Amino acid sequence: MIKTIVAILFISLGLSQAPSSLNKKIDKLAKSVEKKVIDWRRDFHEHPELSNREFKTAEKVAKHLRSLGMEVQTEVAHTGVVGILKGGKPGKVVALRADMDALPVKEKVDLPFASKAKGIYQGNEVDVMHACGHDNHIAGLMGAAEILSKIKKDLPGTVKFIFQPAEEGAPLGEKGGAKFMVEEGVMNNPKVDAIFGLHAWPGKVGTVEYRSGPTMAAAERMRITVTGSQTHGAVPWKGVDPIAISSQIITALQTIVAREVNITQVPAVVTIGSIHGGVRNNIIPEEVVMEGTIRTFNDEVRKDIHDSIRKKAEMIASASGATAKVEIFSDIAKVTFNEPSLTDKMVPSLERVYGRENVKITPFITGAEDFPFFTDHAPGLYFFNGVAPDPSKAAPNHSPYFFADERNLKYGTKALTQLAVDYLYLYK
């Protein structure tokens, strides 16, 4: 009923999506480019590159965009590539984004094009794998670029293709990712009016998930340093044990979400992922360092969690004669927020690609993205393209067993294309 009312409002306001003749052309072009997209994806999958090191990936992307006659910018935020396609008529500017980096993960999926690549991560040689599906994102956006370049005379506006490095986080000491691309002006010249992005997701192939409003969590890194007094392990009463104190702090942190956050409104996560202290079995060390992550969906909950972490760590340490220093590193990834009015207008585009019955509303996702740095400057819609033949058996993103069925590529390619075209027609 609501969707019917929205459609009537579109008509009454003079808003309409792409004409059916153009949609048919998109369908035909999507079929013709599918094999290329699959080949590109296999190539990227076999030759992954870590964050801020996407040199060969960027070179291939730029070469393709230039072959389509676009204005192409390279070395944006180190290795980023931006293509600009001007339509045959004046209009809005819509951006489409794909991330290019892989992860320090050893692939365990038996594929003929499985990665055997190596890279350097935090000073160590590591195996490298597209364990988060970014190879699908790159290839899909390259396919959308080819389709849109062939219908550019029909486009009432401009499409900006953003191929982003370092979504997984820049190496320590380096700038990177969406934030750095924005700093270097990617949302200007021409100024972007709306932006769309997708993520490969272990949902069923041929389905798509989205959520209006807050969708993915803000992610923050925390470090807690507990300082006690070193002593021999045989005489613990002569020192202050930061290991025992740290265990009390970890236990107390688990009560924050369980007892202090109203999880019926929004979820939250407080996780300790590493703890380091001591070098020998019979020495109580002076210091323990714990690191973890905080995931939240609104600023009030985020502030309350910060305050609670600090109070618990500092007071528990103080009660035992130690000190606790709490450091919280924000601005890593903010809440991924799908602008509600834009989302409502673009859902019919997703329904056209996937079928209405295959368009689902996702629950909150406590994973995080740096896509919000783009949507600080223009409204956006970020959605999830199903890649699993059987979701009940699918490995999660970042797993060495993560697998994306190639049938997902035609949906992702077409969805990005359809969203760009429909947006330009809706807002012309």
**67 and 200, same domain (yes or no):** yes
Q: Is 193 a catalytic residue?
A: no
Catalytic residue among 54, 99, 101, 220: 101
Residues 188 and 222 in one domain: no
Q: Which long-range contacts (CB under 8 A, 24 or more apart) does 21-29 make?
A: 22/151, 22/154, 22/421, 23/352, 23/418, 25/151, 25/154, 26/147, 26/151, 26/414, 26/417, 26/418, 26/421, 27/414, 29/146, 29/147, 29/150, 29/151
Question: What region, left, alpha or beta, does residue 215 occupy, with left being phi > 0 and alpha being psi -120 to 50 degrees?
Answer: alpha
Q: Would 3 be classed as within a structural domain?
A: no
List pLDDT tens digits, range 158-209.
Answer: 999 999 999 999 998 999 999 999 999 999 999 999 999 999 999 999 999 9
**Residue range of the domain that includes 259:** 218-332
* pLDDT score for 2: 52
The pLDDT value recorded for residue 273 is 95
What is the CATH classification number for the domain harbouring 365?
3.40.630.10
Q: What is the pLDDT along the chain (428 residues), one digit of tens a residue?
A: 555 454 445 444 445 688 999 999 999 999 999 999 999 999 999 999 999 999 999 999 999 999 999 999 999 999 999 999 999 999 999 999 999 999 999 999 999 999 999 999 989 999 999 999 999 999 999 999 999 999 999 999 999 999 999 999 999 899 999 999 999 999 999 999 999 999 999 999 999 999 999 999 999 999 999 999 999 999 999 999 999 999 999 999 999 999 999 999 999 999 999 999 999 999 999 999 999 999 999 999 999 999 999 999 999 999 999 999 999 998 788 999 999 999 999 999 999 999 999 999 999 999 999 999 999 999 999 999 999 999 999 999 999 999 999 999 999 999 999 999 999 999 98
- Structural domains in the chain (count): 2
Q: Is residue 8 part of a domain?
A: no
Whole-angstrom distance, CA of residue 18 vs CA of residue 428? 11
Residue 45 inside a domain? The answer is yes
Identified catalytic residue from 107, 127, 146, 167: 167
Residues 6+ apart with CB under 8 A from 111: 45, 403
CA atoms within 13 A on the CB side of 218: 18
Instruction: Give the pLDDT score at 122.
Output: 87
Last residue in a domain, options 315, 332, 349: 332
- Residue 1 falls inside a structural domain: no
DSSP assigned state of 170: P
Nearest to 122 by CA among 173, 67, 58, 46: 173
**Residue 4 placed within a domain:** no
- Residue 245, φ and ψ in degrees, nearest 5: -65, -40
Beta bridge partners of 327: 223
Domain boundary among the residues 301, 332, 363 is at 332
Q: Is residue 408 part of a domain?
A: yes
Q: Tell me, yes or no, whether 154 and 28 share the same domain.
A: yes
263 shares its domain with 296: yes
Is the CB of residue 312 less than 8 Å from the CB of residue 226?
no
Q: At a CB cut-off of 8 Å and minimum separation 6, what does 363 contact? A: 211
Shared domain check, 320 and 264: yes
74 phi/psi in degrees, rounded to 5: -120, 170
Number of H helices, E strands in the chain: 10, 18
What pLDDT, on a 0 to 100 scale, did the predictor assign at position 141? Answer: 98
In this structure, are 418 and 304 located in the same domain? no
How far is Cα 119 from Cα 221, in angstroms, rounded to an integer?
A: 24
My answer on whether 36 and 170 are in the same domain is yes
Residue 9 corresponds to which tokens in the numbers above? Answer: 């409002």
d(CA 294, CA 372): 17
Q: Are 131 and 196 in contact (CB under 8 A)?
A: no
Give residues with Cβ within 8 angstroms of 39, minimum separation 6.
none
| pTM for the predicted model, two decimal places | 0.90
Query: Quick check: is 17 in a domain?
Result: yes
Contact indicator for 164, 80 with CB cutoff of 8 Å: yes
* pLDDT at residue 13, as a whole number: 43
Does residue 241 have an active-site annotation?
no
| Closest listed residue to residue 387, CA positions, set 171, 208, 227 | 208
Query: Do residues 124 and 91 both lie within one domain?
Result: yes
Quick one: 323 and 345 in the same domain?
no
Same domain, 112 and 72: yes
The type of residue at 146 is E
The CA R_g of the chain, rounded to the nearest whole Å, is: 24
User: Are residues 311 and 184 part of one domain?
Assistant: no
Domain at 278, CATH number: 3.30.70.360
What are the tens digits of pLDDT across the range 69-114?
A: 999 999 999 999 999 999 999 999 999 999 999 999 999 999 999 9
**Residues 342, 226: one domain?**
no
Any domain includes 360: yes
Q: Where is the domain boundary, 290, 311, 332?
A: 332
